[in-house]
Amino acid sequence: MRPARRTLRRTDELIAAGLLPRERRTEIEQVAASYAVAVTPDIAELVNVADPHDPIARQFVPDPAELETHPIENADPIGDAAHSPVPGIVHRYPDRVLLKPVQVCAAYCRFCFRRERVGRGHSLSAGELEQALDYIRAHSEIWEVILTGGDPLVLSPRRLAAIMRSLAAIEHVKVIRVHTRLPVVAPGRITPALVHAVKSSGKATYVALHANHARELSEKARAACARLIDAGIPMLSQTVLLRGVNDDAAALAALMRAFVECRIKPYYLHHADLAPGTAHWRTDIADGQALMRALRGRLSGLCQPTYVLDIPGGAGKSPIGPNYLVNIGPADGATRYQVEDFTGRGHAYPPLET
């Protein structure tokens, strides 16, 4: 495999780097015509080209299966458009909004739920950004602003700091959360200047890192995360449950433990959205629930994410993890339950008299 010195965007570059066989050139070019492609040097370095089922390649290297769409799939699977009052804003929940200043990423996940727009849509103009900020200013119920996109950390430190300062000037905004892949896909770009820009609002600021496999947390990625955390910025994780990447208990446990070792609190495990051409990554919900059961009790409580489904159409996220508690009806004037422990054994609550 030839080491990548720059981001790979063209099919010929992926072939030259050993990430694709030459005979797949035509079909991969068809994929690239529909969905943006970018594999950073750091991601290319993590790929084991000798493994045809490599979990890193599966996330970033185009696959002809992406052109196979199903009737249940939707170009806007979680209903962003229905909750976008002005460009760049998604206001789905009462106390928080998404602010999407950019529609580009350093690397493109093949399963992205915004794959119809990222890498191809425009980023916000100065006027659109101001309109988005005006919307936040006008809605005093907005307590938290989530910067997403695209990846907001691809912005220059100067532009990012300007957005953070604008948000800082809004009294009712108390929390800013930044969603990013950058510490994993391009860790060298987490520079002191960028870290300073993230902190520059003076508000409570969190960074949510998207990673799906423990190998993504390379030494360089861990160092990039440490630069943010050591600067006083708490980090959370977001993970998508993906067939062939992390859909077994050992892989998921290794990832959650790696997060905690990096001082990143596991937050969400997302059930994969119904984006076009992503069926080959989606698992069954029952599989996800079984994986959550496998983590419960066997891994530290610090390692437990919340398994969630983003309801199609824009109704928001709901937890869909396994249920351990069953109401078994009243007895002796009290409501009684059966609660299941992590080994699968049932216990009466309150305990039955012996």
pLDDT digits (tens, 9 = 90+) for 96-115: 999 999 999 999 999 999 99
Give tens-digit pLDDT for 227-273. 999 999 999 999 999 999 999 999 999 999 999 999 999 999 999 99
The pLDDT score that the predictor gives to residue 330 is 84
pLDDT tens-digit readout, 1-47: 556 689 999 999 999 999 999 999 999 999 999 999 999 999 999 99
pLDDT above 90: percentage of residues in the chain: 90
Query: What is the pTM (predicted TM-score) of this model?
Result: 0.95
- What are the two backbone dihedrals, phi and then psi, of residue 204, each rounded to the nearest 5 degrees? -65, 120
Instruction: Please report the pLDDT score of residue 297 as a whole number.
Output: 86
Over residues 290-317, mean pLDDT = 95
pLDDT of the residue at 214: 98
Q: What is the pLDDT of residues 190-233, one digit of tens each?
A: 999 999 999 999 999 999 999 999 999 999 999 999 999 999 99
Per-residue confidence (pLDDT) for residue 354, from 0 to 100: 55
Superfamily of domain 81-319: Aldolase class I (3.20.20.70)
Q: Which residues are catalytic?
A: 92-93, 96, 105, 109, 112, 114, 273, 310, 317
pLDDT at 333 over 90: no
Q: Print burial letters for 266-304: b (CB count within 10 Å at least 16), e (below 16).
A: bbbbbbbbbbbbbbbbbbeeeebbebbbbbbeebeeebb
**What pLDDT was estimated at residue 2?**
56
pLDDT tens sequence across 139-178: 999 999 999 999 999 999 999 999 999 999 999 999 999 9
Domain boundaries, the chain: 11-51, 81-319, 323-354
Can you give the pLDDT at residue 1? 54
- How do residues 267-276 score in pLDDT, each as one tens digit? 999 999 999 9
Name the pairing type of β-strands 334-340 and 316-319: unpaired
What is the percent of the chain with per-residue pLDDT over 70, rounded to a whole number?
Answer: 98
Mean pLDDT of 80-88: 95
